[in-house]
């Protein structure tokens, strides 16, 4: 569910998902899984590095 919020309110993730669906012709579910993976990687990196912030 948090992926839906990220693609709606986070401009970086919104653009990433839009690019996957429109330019690369990926199904919407595949694009959401890609966004989910990107968020998990960012969360893991932010836990290991305390000075990391996801830009808005």
**Is there a domain that residue 55 lies in?**
no
**Is there a domain that residue 9 lies in?**
yes
Q: How many CB atoms lie within 10 A of CB 54?
A: 14
**Is there a domain that residue 25 lies in?**
yes
Convert the pLDDT of each residue in 1-56 to its tens digit. Answer: 789 998 999 999 999 999 999 999 999 999 999 999 999 998 888 888 877 666 65
**Is there a domain that residue 11 lies in?**
yes
Q: What is the pLDDT at residue 56?
A: 56
Q: What is the pLDDT at residue 14?
A: 93
**Is there a domain that residue 38 lies in?**
yes
Q: What is the pLDDT at residue 55?
A: 63
- Residue identified by tokens 């990391």 is 52
**Is there a domain that residue 54 lies in?**
no
- Write out the residue range of the structural domain in which residue 31 sits: 2-48
Cβ within 8 Å of residue 16, ≥6 positions away: 34, 35, 38
Q: What is the pLDDT at residue 42?
A: 85
Distance CA 27, CA 52 (A): 31
Domain count, the chain: 1
Q: What is the pLDDT at residue 34?
A: 94
């Amino acid at each position: 569910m948090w992926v839906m919020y990220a693609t709606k309110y986070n401009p970086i993730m919104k653009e990433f998902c839009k690019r996957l669906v429109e330019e690369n012709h990926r199904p919407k579910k595949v694009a959401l899984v890609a966004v989910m993976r990107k968020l998990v990687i960012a969360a893991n990196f932010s836990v290991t590095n305390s000075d990391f912030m996801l830009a808005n």
